[in-house]
Amino acid sequence: MVKLRLKRCGRKQRAVYRIVAIDVRCRREGRALRKVGFYDPIKNQTYLNVPAILYFLEKGAQPTGTVEDILRKAEAFKELRPKQTQLRK
């Protein structure tokens, strides 16, 4: 099973994170299947490769809680769900 999770990079006390698609059996710093984003909590910057993220989500990848929060803030889930029509009463 594949997960979208954070991989720590940077130096001591100045962590930055890559958002990666990785097998659940691999360790946190293990080899990723693909890098799909970047998150810097200090500068509050986020870069997301939305087509790659949507590809993995459609294939059944599960985001971790933190990655899901980052994707919600960036509104990446809007592109995943088709637009719903309103029901008439």
The ranges assigned to domains in the chain are 1-72
Look at the alpha carbons of 67, 72, 74, 80 in this order and tell me if their dihedral is positive or negative.
Answer: positive
For 9-43, the DSSP string reads: EEETTEEEEEEEEEETTS-TTS--SEEEEEEETTT
Q: What does CATH list as the number for 1-72?
A: 3.30.1320.10
What are 12-35's pLDDT values in tens digits? 999 999 999 999 888 777 788 899
pTM metric for this prediction:
0.78
pLDDT band for position 11 (cuts 50, 70, 90) = very high
Examine the pLDDT at 63 and tell me if it is beyond 90: yes
